[in-house]
């Protein structure tokens, strides 16, 4: 891949795949409201607000992007679509959903059976409005909310290359985070310095070839998982001061043309107690079991089952909080999941995080997370930061 982006040919192939899929159900077009799906099919990254946006795919790969006036130039410059259709504003004199219906009628699709990924536009930013079937009376609308999400499960070589590049810069951000993690410093100060320095290096190295496309540069931090607070898997930043003996659970990554990776480590400030060492070694074994279990042709649930067996054997259930991992790519969490309740079959090209953890109230949390891609016969690691205990001591 010569550029850090998804090619126009791949974007168009994605839209044709959608049309091929709905064509099997005799549906002539699809309306998509989901921002991630719109980006996946067009490369258009935008900020979803109260203003409705939608993508209409129809015909032999044709596409119309429906946006508010304030996005018209932005969409025209960055979206791979045939037509950009804008409306004045929300709520406006005419509700935007009625403008969308008029655009669909102008395409000659109102009398066809069509698909949609939702009953209408939805937003928590104060939006309210009619459903698609209300503004297109007489049109048979079939809801296919997971169609594009299912297409995103198996990554293309271009997508894997972008995630690999993300992992490269997440690795640098994490190395800087570890370097700056010293007693007396605050988590916000450490994270800001590491993230800024890594992003600057990323921009200097990649130059004009680098575009986050709706994300950030490189970043690394703790998100509040410091000392006893590290036992909260989804803690939030509290600007905690690092102290000698603290357990640190970290997170690092980077966004490259919308794609992300995940790197997390359990670190220690200055010293490691015997109890901390014991839980760290159990956590490392849990992750090793996960890696060995991941193979194409088995259900995702099978990976979680292998790990659960070790929890049982070592009497670790009091410290369990979550499943083994999840897919990722355009979003930090995507389907499928390494969970006992997910029977999705693992396929080559799927990209996952692997992050079984142990959380001990009063002591700390213990979690490594690595990003990997499934191959024809196993896995390939995309993250590569050291995992052993001695490498995780901040001195």
Report the pLDDT value the prediction gives residue 67, as an integer from 0 to 100.
Answer: 98
Report the pLDDT value the prediction gives residue 197, as an integer from 0 to 100.
Answer: 98
pTM exceeds 0.95, yes or no: yes
Q: Are residues 142 and 166 in the same domain?
A: no
State the total domains in the chain: 2
Token pair for 225: 């998982």
Whether 3 is in a domain gets the answer no
Report the pLDDT value the prediction gives residue 210, as an integer from 0 to 100.
Answer: 87
Q: Could you read off the pLDDT of 261-313 as tens digits, one per residue?
A: 999 999 999 999 999 999 999 999 999 999 999 999 999 999 999 999 999 99
Backbone angles phi, psi at 292, to 5 degrees: -65, -25
Last residue of a domain, one of 125, 150, 175: 150
Q: Are residues 189 and 335 in the same domain?
A: yes
Whether 291 is in a domain gets the answer yes
Report the pLDDT value the prediction gives residue 103, as an integer from 0 to 100.
Answer: 97
Cα–Cα distance measured from residue 278 to residue 362, given in angstroms and rounded to the nearest whole number:
15
Q: Are residues 248 and 284 in the same domain?
A: yes
Range of the domain at 65: 8-150
Q: Are residues 82 and 177 in the same domain?
A: no
Q: Are residues 116 and 184 in the same domain?
A: no
Residues in the chain predicted with pLDDT less than 50, given as ranges, are 1
Looking only at the bridges linking them, the beta strands covering 393-394 and 266-269 are: parallel
- Between the CA of residue 212 and those of 45, 184, 256, 363, what are the distances in Å? 10, 33, 5, 37
Which secondary-structure segment (H or E) carries 221? Answer: strand 218-221
- Domain harbouring 209, CATH code: 3.90.230.10
Report the pLDDT value the prediction gives residue 5, as an integer from 0 to 100.
Answer: 96
Whether 1 is in a domain gets the answer no
Q: Are residues 296 and 250 in the same domain?
A: yes
- Domain harbouring 104, CATH code: 3.40.350.10
Q: Are residues 171 and 86 in the same domain?
A: no
Report the pLDDT value the prediction gives residue 2, as an integer from 0 to 100.
Answer: 57
Average pLDDT score over the chain: 97
Q: Are residues 302 and 176 in the same domain?
A: yes
Whether 284 is in a domain gets the answer yes
């Amino acid at each position: 891949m010569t550029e850090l982006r998804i090619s126009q040919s791949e974007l168009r192939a994605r839209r044709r795949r959608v049309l091929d899929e709905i064509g099997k159900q005799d549906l002539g077009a699809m309306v998509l409201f989901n921002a991630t799906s719109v980006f996946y099919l067009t490369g258009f990254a935008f900020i979803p607000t109260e203003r409705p946006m939608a993508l209409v795919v129809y015909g032999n790969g044709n596409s119309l992007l429906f946006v508010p006036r304030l996005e018209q130039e932005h969409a025209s410059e960055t979206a791979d679509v045939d037509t950009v259709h804008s409306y004045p504003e929300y709520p406006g004199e005419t509700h935007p959903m009625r403008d969308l219906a008029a655009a669909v009628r102008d395409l000659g699709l109102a009398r066809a059976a069509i698909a949609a990924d939702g009953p209408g536009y939805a937003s928590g930013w104060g939006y309210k409005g009619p459903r698609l079937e209300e503004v297109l009376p007489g049109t048979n609308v079939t809801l296919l909310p997971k169609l594009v999400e299912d297409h995103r499960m198996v990554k293309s070589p271009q997508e894997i290359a972008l995630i690999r590049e993300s992992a490269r810069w997440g690795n640098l951000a994490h190395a800087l985070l570890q370097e700056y993690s010293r007693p007396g410093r605050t988590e916000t100060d450490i994270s800001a310095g590491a993230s800024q320095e890594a992003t600057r290096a990323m921009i200097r190295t990649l130059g004009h070839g680098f575009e986050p496309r709706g994300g950030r540069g490189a970043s690394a931090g703790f998100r509040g998982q410091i000392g006893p607070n590290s036992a909260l898997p989804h803690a939030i930043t509290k600007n905690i001061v690092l102290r000698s003996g603290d357990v640190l659970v970290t997170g690092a990554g980077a966004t490259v043309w919308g794609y992300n990776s995940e790197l997390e480590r359990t670190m220690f400030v200055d010293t490691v107690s015997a109890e901390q060492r014991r839980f760290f070694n159990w956590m490392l074994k849990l992750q090793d079991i996960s890696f060995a279990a991941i193979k194409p042709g088995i259900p995702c649930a099978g990976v979680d089952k292998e790990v659960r067996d070790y929890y049982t054997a070592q009497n670790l259930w009091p410290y369990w909080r979550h499943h083994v991992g999840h897919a990722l790519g355009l979003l930090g969490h995507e389907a499928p999941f390494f969970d006992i309740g997910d029977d999705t079959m693992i396929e080559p090209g799927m990209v996952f995080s692997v992050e079984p953890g142990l959380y001990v109230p009063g002591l700390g949390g213990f979690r490594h997370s690595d990003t990997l891609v499934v191959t024809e016969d196993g896995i390939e690691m995309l993250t590569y930061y050291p995992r052993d205990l001695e490498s995780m001591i901040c001195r």
